[in-house]
Structure 1
């Protein structure tokens, strides 16, 4: 009878230690971390911001190639579905950005090539657009929510969504872009 009590006590202690280890790992190492997202518009040198663009709408490109860089800091991969992002200028949607389904590997990086389809009439039609151009910078924002599955250790699969908002500043003279994005993973 004494050996059975010792065996049960050792088993209970072992299970308690394993449970504590899993809880600590779950709250520290495996705790979901927000991915880092950066938006890089390409080919800005082809966009005409001058008066010629007002007189001839075809002088302003309607599409801008972009690269969306995603850095996954988690121990689980994230496979997401097709989605659409939106670019806003002072509260008005001025462009759509299709994002094709893909897989971001665990603790890996992914660059997604896409195109922002600008609605030039909405952008130029905003009464503050030309004033912003003359001051030297145009500030935009973007938002997108990506839905998919997180897979950990090729066994555990959890539905997740990642809403993302970015503040994008286009500096007219240098034709450079600065983007600051905020994300929050939701399981």
Structure 2
């Protein structure tokens, strides 16, 4: 009876044999795809970690101008002004660098006399980003020892200053590999009170 039904309906027998084979082929294709994806992920990780190591971007001050400069030595030494600076962030990586909001400080003999905001942004791979920064300097409430030094520097006509900043962010390569990196800024300069200009600007790179 079964042979008769099989003879009368050969398509039913064909379907019963073909269905498992199709399922096996689909499973094999899925396995091959997963293997290829894993292999490419490993190769990309090795390529990004060994061939293209993630580097910390560089940030420095490229130009500074002063505005509304005012200073005096009596009864206490004081120094007030506005400093307008251009900051450059250079991303040496092939992937983009996205950094968070931060701030830059201006110091006189390790005493903070000014601070400015640095807004977050993005620097594409192997490119530079220029940003303007305005910083208000108020050096009129220094401790006695520092006030004495500031008075001496003002009389000499040259005030030594330094500026520091850290840009915390993430370097992304093809939006797959990501590494946290910090771009640090460490600059020194001299403020010439006679010319009211910043000179001898030097930033570590």
Task: Write the deviation string for residues 35-88 of structure 1: whole angstroms up to 9, x where unpaired.
Answer: 25225222x253134x4x868x9x943x32221122222222211111112111
The TM-score, its normalising length taken from structure 1, stands at 0.68
1:154 aligned to which of 166, 175, 184: 175
List 4+ stretches of structure 1 deviating above 4 A: 25-29
* 1:37 alignment counterpart: 60
Separation in structure 2 between the aligned mates of residue 160 and residue 121 of structure 1, nearest angstrom? 36
* 1:145 alignment counterpart: 166
Separation in structure 1 between the aligned mates of residue 189 and residue 142 of structure 2, nearest angstrom? 15
Q: Specify every segment of 5 or more residues in structure 1 that has no aligned partner in the other structure, as ranges.
A: 1-14
Separation in structure 1 between the aligned mates of residue 163 and residue 193 of structure 2, nearest angstrom? 19
The TM-score, its normalising length taken from structure 2, stands at 0.63
Q: Relative to structure 1, is the Cα distance of residues 148 and 136 closer, same or farther in structure 2, using a 3 angstrom cutoff?
A: same
* 2:113 alignment counterpart: 94
Q: CA RMSD in A?
A: 3.2
Structure 1 segment 1-150 matched on structure 2, within 5 A: 26=49, 30=53, 32=55, 34-42=57-65, 44=66, 46-49=68-71, 51=72, 60-61=80-81, 63-122=82-141, 126-150=147-171
Separation in structure 2 between the aligned mates of residue 100 and residue 123 of structure 1, nearest angstrom? 29
Give the number of the structure whose alpha-carbon radius of gyration is greater: 2
Task: Write the deviation string for residues 92-115 of structure 1: whole angstroms up to 9, x where unpaired.
Answer: 111112111111221111111121
Separation in structure 2 between the aligned mates of residue 171 and residue 115 of structure 1, nearest angstrom? 19
